[in-house]
A and B are shown apart, each in its own frame.
Chain A
Amino acid sequence: MPDPMKIRATLTGDTTEVKVLMNHEMETGQRKDAQGKVIPAWFIQNVSVTWNAKTVLSAQWGTAIAKNPFVSFKFKGGAKGDKITITWVDSRAEKRTDEATIA
């Protein structure tokens, strides 16, 4: 199972700011190992964030995203104590879901 994400969600006025750190190798498929063999691509493909069963962010990623990605975004709405759920799925169909509470 992949390592957990680190999520911070804070409410200012009527806007929630979400900051997420993900644990992922994000292999581009361009690198070679010590034996000269290509290291196969392996990266997060889909990211989705939901709040109150409503999708507030949906993203399709590729190999241009750095290792251990950091995502920061804002959405209108949210209240202190609300839960937000973040899920990523990578190119090996591995999946990780984490939850955070808006502070």
Chain B
Amino acid sequence: MTARKESTAWPLRSFFAALWLATATGAAAQTSATDEIAKYRAALQDGNPAELWEARGEDLWKQKRGVRQASLEQCDLGLGPGVVKGAYARLPAYFADADRVMDLETRLVWCMVTLQGYSEAEAKKQPFGNGSEHKSDIEALVAFVTSQSRGVAMNVGLGHPKEVEMYRLGEKIFYYRGGSHDFGCVTCHADEGKRIRLQDLPKLSTPDGAQKAYTTWPAYRVSQGELRSFQWRLYDCFRQQRFPELVFGSDASIALTMFLARNANGGIFDAPAIKR
């Protein structure tokens, strides 16, 4: 009994000592935790499972599928039919054939419908993957297309009035606060040095912050074992804000993407990346 008492007393004491130490060195611990996460990412970059999605996406891009048995190789992502290299760095953009501003995901759905003959519902059926039983073709295609813009500078135009309109709408949503928590994108992403737990939050209203964030999505999320697209990133932000569910490919999702992508102009695209 005594022995047991002794054995519990020590860990408790060292716990308080550790607590005191942690408080005293709080600032140092914060930067080193960030450094450690950076190191972790660097260590994993070499074996980024995103490459598995890229490979599957490339395969899907070239495969003849749908009722028309066509591949996506004639899909126009803005630089002409079939041009994938550098296409993502210029999206979202206005497409005259659809008379709409589209991001990559909506454009892929458009191509699956117009070229391959899928219904829109079929094409949008699994926007986000969930394990090997529920793979997302869209996320794989996103991985492939975005990988072809690695090293390219972001260059999103506002040449068409509808592009300007989308950008303004995105800006409005970014600064809009609402929902049960009176929350908005701006609550977390408009100040320097904010973080959630150990994750540093980028200040998305500045070019520097927008570049750092936007150029590293899509990414393989280690904690989920999935490759996540930018549509997913926004969808999950909306969930965290307790906003209504963000509809995949909706104008709201494209507008926010437009706002962030445009703010990231000049940044060198470097994704699919890897995140914790």
Residues of chain A touching chain B, judged by Cβ–Cβ distance below 8 Å, are: 3-4, 6, 19, 21, 23, 25, 66-68, 70, 72
Contacts and interface: CB of A to CB of B under 8 A. Distances in A.
A6 B272 CA distance: 16
B225 interface: yes
A4 B225 contact: no
16 contacts: A3-B52, A3-B56, A4-B55, A19-B46, A21-B47, A21-B48, A21-B49, A21-B51, A21-B52, A23-B49, A25-B132, A66-B222, A68-B52, A70-B46, A70-B47, A72-B47
Query: For chain A, what secondary structure do more than half of its interface residues adopt (helix, strand, loop), or is it mixed?
Result: loop
B52 A6 contact: yes
Contacts of B159: none
Interface string B132-175: 10000000000000000000000000000000000000000000
A67 B51 contact: no
Contacts of B131: 25
Nearest to B44: A70
Contacts of B225: 25, 66-68
Interface centre among B46, B47, B131, B222 (most CB of A within 10 A): B47
A21 B47 CA distance: 7
Nearest to A72: B47
B200 to A, nearest CB: 24
B234 to A, nearest CB: 24
A19 B43 CA distance: 13
Contacts of A3: 52, 56
Nearest to B51: A6
Residue in A19, A66, A68 with the greatest tally of chain B CB atoms within 10 Å: A68
